[in-house]
Amino acid sequence: MRLSEFFTKTRREAPRDETAKNAILLSRAGFIYKEMAGVYALLPLGLRVIRKIEGIIREEMECAGASEVLLTTLQSPALWERTGRWSDETVDNWFKTSLKDGSPLGLAHTHEEPLTALLAHYVSSYRDLPRLVFQFQTKFRNELRAKSGILRGREFVMKDCYSFARNEAEHAELYQRMKQAYTRIFERVGIGEHTYCTRASGGSFSRASEEFQTLTDAGEDIIYIDPATRTAINAEVIDEAVLAELKLSRERFIEKKAIEVGNIFPLGTKFSEPLELNFTDEHGEKRLVVMGSYGIGLGRLMGTVAEVLSDEHGLLWPRSIAPFDVHLVKIRNPKFEIRNTPQIINHVAAEADRLYDTLSEQGVSVLYDDREAVSAGEQFADADLIGLPFRLVVSEKTMAVGRYEVRERASGEVDFIEAEALVNRLMVP
Q: Which of 142, 140, 110, 153 is nearest to 22 (CA)?
A: 153
Does position 352 bind a second copy by CB under 8 A? no
CB of 249 to a second copy, least distance (A): 43
CB of 46 to a second copy, least distance (A): 8
Does position 418 bind a second copy by CB under 8 A? no
CA distance 391 to 367: 10
CA distance 107 to 73: 5
CB of 147 to a second copy, least distance (A): 14
Return the residues of window 12-51 that contact a second copy according to CB under 8 A: 33, 35-36, 39-44, 47, 50
Contact 18, 27 (CB under 8 A): yes
CB of 35 to a second copy, least distance (A): 5
Q: Is the link from the previous residue into 130 a cis peptide, with omega within 30 of 0?
A: yes
Helix (H, G, I), strand (E, B) or coil at 408: strand
9, 230, 286, 335: which one binds a second copy (CB under 8 A): 9
Nearer to a second copy by Cβ, of 76 and 83: the residue is 76
Does position 67 bind a second copy by CB under 8 A? yes
Task: Report the residue count for the chain.
Answer: 429
- What would you report as the CA-atom Rg of the chain, rounded to the nearest whole angstrom? 25
CB of 75 to a second copy, least distance (A): 7
CB of 51 to a second copy, least distance (A): 9
53, 61, 107, 291: which one binds a second copy (CB under 8 A): 107
Helix (H, G, I), strand (E, B) or coil at 48: helix
Does position 114 bind a second copy by CB under 8 A? yes
CB of 62 to a second copy, least distance (A): 10
Contact 349, 333 (CB under 8 A): no
Nearer to a second copy by Cβ, of 33 and 336: the residue is 33
Residues in contact with 162: Cβ distance below 8 Å, sequence separation at least 6, in sequence order: 111, 112, 115, 116, 132, 133, 134, 291, 292, 293, 294
14, 71, 120, 399: which one binds a second copy (CB under 8 A): 71
Residues in contact with 404: Cβ distance below 8 Å, sequence separation at least 6, in sequence order: 355, 392, 393, 394, 398, 416, 417, 418, 419, 422
Return the residues of window 156-215 that contact a second copy according to CB under 8 A: 164
Q: Which of 267, 261, 176 is nearest to 221 (CA)?
A: 261
CA distance 118 to 162: 12
Does position 86 bind a second copy by CB under 8 A? no
Where on the chain is the footprint of a second copy (CB under 8 A)?
Answer: 5-9, 33, 35-36, 39-44, 47, 50, 65, 67-76, 95-100, 105, 107, 114, 118-119, 121-123, 128, 131, 133, 138, 140, 142-144, 154-155, 164
